Structure 1
Amino acid sequence: MTTVSEEQRTAQYTTATDIFVGGEWRKSSATETIAVINPATEETIGEVARGTAEDVDLAAKAAAAAFDGWSQTPNGERAAAIHRLADLLEVRGDELTKLIVSEVGQPITFAVGSQTDVAVSDLRHFADAINDVAWVELVEDFMVRREPAGVVGAIAAWNGPLRSVALKAGAALAAGCTVVVKPSEIAPLSAYVFANLVNEAGIPAGVFNLVSGEGPVVGEAIASHPLIDVVSLTGSVRAGSRVMELGSRSIKRMALELGGKSANVILEDADLEQAINVGLDDAFRNAGQVCGGLSRTLVPRSRLAEAEQIAVAKAESFLMGDPLDPSTTLGPVITERQRERIRDYIRSAQTDGVRMLVGGAEQPEGFDCGYYIKATVFSGDNHDRLAQEEIFGPVNIIIPFDSEADAIGIANDSSYGLAGAVWSGDPEHARAVAARLRTGRIRINGTPINMKAPHGGFKLSGIGREMGRYGIEEFLEYKSVIG
């Protein structure tokens, strides 16, 4: 059995070794490139420049030079430009989806909605939400203005490479800010298409700039640059902490979307089967490589055995295979290093005596290539390492609770607070429980995420919010005009 299609094997090699600065592609000062690896085939599918601090300096200067003009552009003109960008992105949707699948390995059936289509929707939401912002308010004898915060340094994530750029750049452009984007070096190729479309949309030169490269070089140069006023990062707690440290030296604004260890709280009167099935679909989307995935499943102790049976059946229903095959529901994880990290978590849990119900660390039978991990479910308690640390893979732990208060305590007993879910036969009761959870987003009884609602976290999950009007306001400052 093979896991790869001919389309994957013969994918066009992409060389993208320039940087996008001042509305044009320029030669990077880099002397080396970074290989882009297809996680399903383990083959190199492209390369990008290993950018430098000098590249960031050029981009920051271009963004700073363009700021005055773009920040003074009327709201309607900014909205129209972002709508044009969204339309162009939509036209290239099929091509971009396949490109992202080749970079990230997410099954194409899910990538259409969660990678490409949603990036288009995000841009349109930002364009429309410009009119929802209170740009000027009159209070007594003074005026309060909302004004663009300046140049934004946007450090994007690999698990949603196009959407991460659209969320950060789209909100910043809507706010009237200019941007320097660092796409993830692991999955950078879709960001290059995005940069070309910025030009096609008629957005002025210097408003959007792109420098590829690695975090310790390009990311740190962005966080340190004196012309960059705000840094927006999606990534690990370690990366967020480092960026915050560097940015604090010049008192930069920070918007950080970091890790999560989100709880799926299933109350006694909930539909247990539906709650577990929907919860594991959420936990294992993009092979579990999602910050807000419901990686902890909390169930009444009296229903633990039943919950375990349902979870095993659900985990066994995931179909691993070629991500370009529409029937595939579980793709590979992003890199060999990530696969080995997840395997270490699984083996460590087994060594510690945590009960594994299904899955495991072994290479899936019949797969001769690709960074695949079986859908894995454990049953344990909230003190287990699996319940406390972000694994970022298709691994879930079921945790029993003895009372509603116990469930709330377990859900809140985490260093993270990004997302969560509550299930109950009484939605009002579920909302009352949700009000006691220390987390940034909670879904009631499987209600789909509203992409206009704010997204962000408490505690180690970060600071600031993305999406809709709230994402725009992250890049605005208040100004008082008195008299």
Structure 2
Amino acid sequence: MKDLTKLYINGHWVESQSKATLDVINPSNESIIATVVCASVDDVNLAVAAAKNAFNNWSLTPAAQRSKIISNIAACMEERKAELITAISQTMGCPEHIASWLQVEGAIYAMELFAEHTGITEQVEKSDKCIIVKEAIGVCGFINPWNFPLHQFVGKVGAALAAGCTMIVKPSEQTPWVDFIMAEILDKCGVPKGVFNLVPGTGPVVGAELCTHPNVDMVSFTGSTAAGIKVAQAAAPTVKRVTQELGGKSALIITEGADLHAAVSYGVEDVMLNSGQSCNTLSRMLVPESLYQQAIKFAKETADNLVVGMGEDAFLGPLSSKPHQQKVLQYIQIGLDEGARLVCGGVDNPDSLTTGYYVKPTVFADVSNDMRIAQEEIFGPVLCMIPYRTLDSAIEIANDSPFGLSSAVFAQDDATAIAIARKIRSGQCMINGGEFNYHAPFGGYKQSGNGREFTATGVEEFLETKAIITCT
């Protein structure tokens, strides 16, 4: 069993001033695989003080030096790739062969890309009697999620390092193991003392203190919209910058001219990947009435062929925890109670899986967009299929949501799909089979949050703009 009971503060592994711990549960077999410390407010104060003391020197470090450190981090991540995969698979439940490419390989690539964006802090824009420069915002508090723990770690930490910020990271209580590995990597790669600090713990203690601490200049949060609202409220009295990557209820619009089988298969596999535990999953599939029954048939065939479990043939692992499994099952029951037609899946355990927090891949047909299952984020392997009459009504349905994180369009050609994409209110839109891209800024509209992650745009979130005004 892993012992995760130390904190990483000011370049050292130290004991917490709290004796509280939590068990980390493997959701595939319900076994305890680690014990993680729950830090105290005093621990957070020490970490913030370390980050504040380190800020001036780190923010003035030459861009080339920061770039080299980030590249070294990516290389060390590659060396420890197998450990990162195991940590994610055992704490989050993603089958190892999927965790490899979905959770780890992309994150390593993204970290290397951040090495290309350190120079933004040394760019100087000259205008009429004015010089404009970008400077690191300061001390940052990061509150990370459990569903993509390494991906989100890199999106925040990589960008902050590139910008010259210092930071305190609070991992999810469910998936802290990967953060401990990353702390070891950053220590090995020469990140100066105090620049990076790891303080595990609970949201009400560690998260709340990061949000309210007067010496934390920025908070970046990934999680539910409800929790994101609380983060923003807590940060408001100290006027922190707050960036949030929150919930989603993304729509896939399939047009009459699209390859229907390819489009439906793409949509079903998207919502079932990571067992539906992705904020940008395409959980609403909008299909022309003329193709609706055929699309339902294709969706059932695709979903029924997906294997649930942790083996080499598995596409869906368990959900992350018992409470989350029960929440998703409750939503499936809500869909049944609302009158949606169950095409496949449901509330029963997958065959032969009596241990672990599994849910069958579930498809609902005859869904109207005003149903709760179409409006609320389920965060599980549940697809809502909605018929539409006209393309304008499809766009209206897609936008009739409090969320606006992602979306997709499958049409007869890219030009048609792009024209539709321009009318959808979301931060991303994937067309004709497009996939997640680390060269594309990530973030949402409306209640899906604010700010962007990854690319140079993500680094800019950690910068302040300074205008130096001259007399000549």
Q: TM-score range by the shorter chain?
A: over 0.9
Equivalent runs, 1:27-66 vs 2, <5 Å? 27-66=15-54
Q: What does the per-residue CA deviation read over 1:295-339, in whole Å, with 9 as the maximum and x for residues that have no partner?
A: 0000001111001000000110110122xx221111000000001
In the alignment, what sits opposite 2:337? Answer: 351
> 1:130 deviation in Å?
2.4
Contact 2:121/2:135 (8 A) holds in 1: no
Match of 2:224 in 1: 236
Give the corresponding residue for 2:462: 475
State yes or no: 1:397 paired with 2:381: no
Which amino acid counterpart does residue 113 of structure 2 have in structure 1? H
Alignment of 1:184-199 (within 5 A): 184-199=172-187
Find the aligned partners of 2:444 and 2:53 in 1 and give their Cα distance. Answer: 33
**Residue in structure 2 matched with residue 7 of structure 1 by the alignment:** none
The 1-side partners of 2:117 and 2:268 are apart by 33
In the TM superposition, what whole-angstrom CA distance separates every residue of 1:271-317 from its partner, at most 9, and x where no partner exists? 11111111111111110000000000000011110010000001101
Cα distance in 2 between the residues matched to 1:164 and 1:278: 24
Task: Give the gaps of 5 or more residues in structure 2.
Answer: none
Partner of 2:327: 341
Q: CA deviation at 1:391?
A: 0.2
Separation (CA, whole Å) in 2 of partners of 1:130 and 1:428: 35
Contact 2:121–2:136 (Cα < 8 Å) also in 1: no
Relative to the length of structure 2, the TM-score reads: 0.98
Deviation, 1:448, is 2.4
| Offset from partner CA, 1:143-195 (integer Å, 9 cap, x none) | 00100000110111100111211110110010000010000011111100100
1:117 aligns with 2:105: yes
Q: Displacement of 1:135 after TM fit?
A: 2.7
Q: Is the 8 A contact 2:121 2:133 kept in 1?
A: no
Q: Does 1:96 align with 2:84?
A: yes
- What amino acid maps onto 2:87 in structure 1? L
Q: Does 1:307 align with 2:273?
A: no
Counterpart CA distance in 2 for 1:332 and 1:153 is 30
What displacement does 1:133 show? 6.6
Structure 2 distance, partners of 1:95, 1:186, is 17
Residue of structure 1 equivalent to 2:359? 373
Alignment equivalent of 2:144, drawn from 156, 174, 188: 156
Aligned match of 1:281? 269
Offset at residue 368 of structure 1 (A): 2.0
Note the C-alpha offset of 1:47: 0.9
**1:409 to 2:396 alignment:** yes
1:68-116 alpha-carbon deviations (Å, 9 max, x no partner): 0000000000000000011001100011101110001112222111211
**Structure 2 match to 1:464:** 451
Which residue among 237, 242, 246 is the counterpart of 2:234? 246
Equivalent residue for 1:87? 75
Are 2:334 and 2:373, in contact at CA under 8 Å, matched by a contact in 1?
A: no
Deviation at 1:369, TM superposition (A): 0.2
Q: Shift of the alpha carbon at 1:228?
A: 0.5
- Counterpart Cα distance in 2 of 1:88 and 1:427: 39
* Amino acid aligned to 1:35: D
Residues 143-222 of structure 1 aligned to structure 2 (within 5 Å):
143-222=131-210
- Please give the alpha-carbon distance, in whole angstroms, between the structure 2 residues aligned to 1:135 and 1:185: 39
- What is the alpha-carbon distance in structure 2 between the residues aligned to residue 449 and residue 50 of structure 1? 34
1:441 aligned counterpart, secondary structure: coil
| SS of 2:238 mapped into structure 1 | coil
Instruction: Specify the alignment match of 1:429 in structure 2.
Output: 416
The offset of 1:134, in angstroms, is 7.2
C-alpha distance in 2 between matches for 1:299 and 1:134: 49
CA–CA distance in structure 1, aligned partners of residues 198 and 111 of structure 2: 18
- Aligned residue pairs total 469
Contact 1:346 1:360 in 2 (8 A): yes
One-letter identity of the residue aligned with 1:466: E
Percent identical among aligned pairs is 41
Runs of 4+ in 1 over 6 A off after TM superposition: none
Query: TM-score, normalising length from structure 1?
Result: 0.96
Q: Report the Cα distance in structure 1 between the residues aligned to 2:428 and 2:458, rounded to whole angstroms.
A: 15
Mapped partners of 2:102, 2:119: distance in 1: 26
CA–CA distance in structure 1, aligned partners of residues 433 and 46 of structure 2: 46
